[in-house]
């Protein structure tokens, strides 16, 4: 990692509150106004006040942006470290896929009740092929290649089963399963009639603020609108959830979780002085952030969407 010397986590959001003040020095403006006489001075003073107000507003906005960015980065890194830690602890643990899900759900309840266990499933996908090939080689391969999972943390108060992933979904069923008291919702892709993709969404047993979305199949059409499309008609929008870039990679299903609703840390950072928070981040954390930002376009897209969404929400 030799990039530490030139890490730039800026998202080009024009965050630079101090320079704005520097570019409009009050003294200079004031002295110019005095030379223009009293009548003009009063008018100018009004516009200066307006400017100052706007500057304050922009500064506050920038503060918010910095806050949100640091919160998002912290969440991302804590999650990432959780995942890494779990993968280290359970390098061989694997879960079955949908074709044998009934087996797995009855015999591997321990795995299913553990969110991180499910996470592991996505990452150790390829390692389970040998075992499976003994039973139903072709079918298994076919199905496994089309399954992916995404985990979305939502607001605790959000009781909907909506996962925004950029596609349009039509709900066609809901069922309460034995393992989980929370109902499981079944969605079909409604953007294209011929699209075979299905999605199952259920809350995690362990953490009910986490939605587990299981995708089956591959879309045969482009994404409708990543930032606008929601599950279904948009009638009920999950405020806390954020597209998680759960791409339907044909060979390696991705499992991505973004926790952008960590209200605690969000509040904490608001209580503290936000600008002083960012420099407090350890250097390796910053490196990780920068690496993630530069290498993962999906993360950047999600980040930008989250920030812009929060801004809109705040305004």
- The residue within the footprint of DNA, chosen from 190, 209, 292, 298 (CB under 7 A), is 190
Distance CA 119, CA 210 (A): 12
Give me the least distance between CB of 92 and DNA, in Å please: 22
Between residues 76 and 187, which has the closer beta carbon with respect to DNA? 187
Distance CA 55, CA 40 (A): 22
- The residue within the footprint of DNA, chosen from 11, 143, 226, 232 (CB under 7 A), is 232
- The residue within the footprint of DNA, chosen from 40, 56, 57, 175 (CB under 7 A), is 175
Q: How many other CB atoms are found less than 10 A from the CB of residue 163?
A: 27
> Which of these ranges, 74-82, 100-108, 119-127, 275-283, lies near DNA under the rule CB under 7 A?
100-108
* Interface with DNA, residue 221, by CB under 7 A: no
Distance CA 263, CA 75 (A): 11
Q: Tell me the C-alpha to C-alpha distance, in Å, between residue 27 and each of 17, 47, 50.
A: 18, 15, 16
- Per DSSP (E only), the strands in 74-153 are 147-153
Distance CA 209, CA 204 (A): 7
* Interface with DNA, residue 313, by CB under 7 A: no
Distance CA 216, CA 202 (A): 14
Rounded to 5, what percent of the chain is helix, strand, coil?
50, 10, 35
Within 13 Å of residue 138, how many CA atoms lie on the same side as its CB? 0
The site map against DNA for 233-272 (x = CB under 7 A) is x-xx------------------------------------
Between residues 79 and 161, which has the closer beta carbon with respect to DNA? 161
Give me the least distance between CB of 6 and DNA, in Å please: 46
- Per DSSP (E only), the strands in the chain are 147-153, 169-176, 183-189, 198-203, 210-216, 257-258
Residues listed for the chain: 315
Between residues 144 and 184, which has the closer beta carbon with respect to DNA? 184
The site map against DNA for 287-306 (x = CB under 7 A) is --------------------
Between residues 83 and 95, which has the closer beta carbon with respect to DNA? 95
* Touching DNA, residues 8-37 (CB under 7 A): none
- The residue within the footprint of DNA, chosen from 19, 27, 178, 264 (CB under 7 A), is 178
Q: How many other CB atoms are found less than 10 A from the CB of residue 11?
A: 14
> Which of these ranges, 31-39, 71-79, 177-185, 262-270, lies near DNA under the rule CB under 7 A?
177-185
- The residue within the footprint of DNA, chosen from 26, 56, 89, 170 (CB under 7 A), is 170
| Tokens found for residue 202 | 């259920």
* Interface with DNA, residue 105, by CB under 7 A: yes
| Tokens found for residue 80 | 């990432």
Give me the least distance between CB of 47 and DNA, in Å please: 42
- The residue within the footprint of DNA, chosen from 21, 44, 198, 275 (CB under 7 A), is 198
| Tokens found for residue 211 | 């939605």
Using CB under 7 A, list all residues that contact DNA. 98, 101-103, 105-106, 168-175, 177-179, 184-186, 190, 198, 200, 231-233, 235-236
């Amino acid at each position: 990692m030799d990039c530490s010397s030139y890490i730039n986590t800026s998202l080009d959001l024009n965050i630079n509150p101090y320079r704005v003040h520097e570019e409009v020095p009050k003294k200079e403006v004031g002295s110019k106004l005095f030379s223009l006489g009293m009548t003009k001075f009063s008018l100018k003073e009004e516009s200066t006040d307006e400017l100052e107000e706007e500057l304050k507003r922009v500064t506050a906005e920038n503060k918010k942006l910095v806050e949100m960015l640091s919160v998002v980065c912290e969440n991302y890194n804590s999650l990432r470290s959780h995942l890494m830690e779990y993968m280290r602890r359970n390098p061989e643990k694997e879960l079955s896929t949908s074709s044998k899900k009934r087996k797995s759900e009855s015999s591997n309840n321990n795995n299913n009740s553990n969110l991180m266990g499910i996470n592991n499933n996505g990452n150790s996908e390829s390692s389970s092929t040998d075992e499976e090939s003994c039973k139903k080689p072709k079918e298994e391969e076919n199905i496994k290649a089309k399954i992916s999972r995404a985990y979305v943390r939502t607001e605790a108060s959000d009781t909907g089963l909506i996962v925004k992933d950029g596609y349009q979904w039509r709900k066609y069923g809901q069922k309460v399963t034995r393992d989980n008291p929370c109902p499981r919702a079944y969605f079909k892709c409604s953007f294209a009639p011929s699209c075979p993709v299905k999605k199952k969404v259920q809350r995690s047993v362990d953490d009910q603020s986490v939605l587990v979305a299981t995708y089956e199949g591959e879309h045969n059409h482009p994404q409708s609108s990543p930032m606008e499309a929601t599950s279904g008609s948009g009638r009920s929008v999950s405020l806390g959830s954020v597209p998680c870039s759960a791409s339907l990679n044909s060979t390696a299903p991705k499992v991505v979780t973004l926790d952008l609703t960590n209200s605690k840390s969000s509040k904490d950072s608001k209580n503290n002085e936000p600008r002083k928070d960012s420099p407090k981040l350890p250097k390796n954390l910053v490196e990780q952030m920068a690496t993630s930002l530069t290498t993962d376009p999906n993360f950047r897209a999600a980040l930008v969407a989250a920030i812009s969404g929060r801004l809109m929400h705040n305004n």
